[in-house]
Amino acid sequence: MTPYVPGTCNIGSREKRSRVRIGILFALISVFLAFFLFHSEFKWLIFVPLFISVLGFVQAKQNFCVYYGLRGEYNFKERGSAKKVLQTQNNKKDIFQSIKLVLISAIIAAAITIVFLLI
């Protein structure tokens, strides 16, 4: 079990595995959409599953859940056993980290989408 570290670590190994599974699932959905939308004017729609996929992998890599961070929670046990972050300063760090991870994921997904649009 990894201890909660404000703005750095708010999930344990079970939650990390869940984020990786989400990343893989939405990466496969992205590939599926890319194949079927390749000659379509709606190619840009792959951004949505790409973003979710990238966000899943980024959260797993960073040991940090955006949802928990925005809600002021952390979880190192099974799903549904999240604990509240009690200090306001820690909540602020978690919110900042959540926003940062969303922006990083959006930039990566946008870059991949742009490359796909240019092919």
Q: For the segment 65-78, what is each residue's pLDDT rounded down to a tens digit? A: 999 999 999 999 88
User: Cβ–Cβ contacts within 10 Å for residue 36, how many?
Assistant: 11
Residues 55, 105 contacting (CB under 8 angstroms): yes
Residue 1 has pLDDT above 80, yes or no: no
Distance CA 70, CA 93 (A): 10
DSSP, collapsed to helix, strand or coil, labels residue 73 as: strand
CB 94 within 8 A of CB 72: yes
pTM attached to this predicted model: 0.94
pLDDT digits (tens, 9 = 90+) for 83-96: 999 999 999 999 99
Q: Where are the domains of the chain?
A: 13-118
Mean pLDDT of 101-119: 97
Q: Give the tokens for residue 106.
A: 């959006």
Q: Band the pLDDT of 80: cuts 50, 70, 90.
A: confident
* Residue type, position 71, single letter: R
In the predicted structure, residue 2 carries a pLDDT above the cut 80: no
Of 6, 96, 91, 105, which is closest to residue 59 (Cα–Cα)?
105
Amino acid at 73: E
Assigned token pair, 116: 């796909």
Q: pLDDT (tens digit, 9 = 90+) per residue, 16-61?
A: 999 999 999 999 999 999 999 999 999 999 999 999 999 999 999 9
- To the nearest 10°, report the CA torsion of 36, 42, 45, 46: 40
Q: CA 29, CA 104: separation in Å to the nearest integer?
A: 20
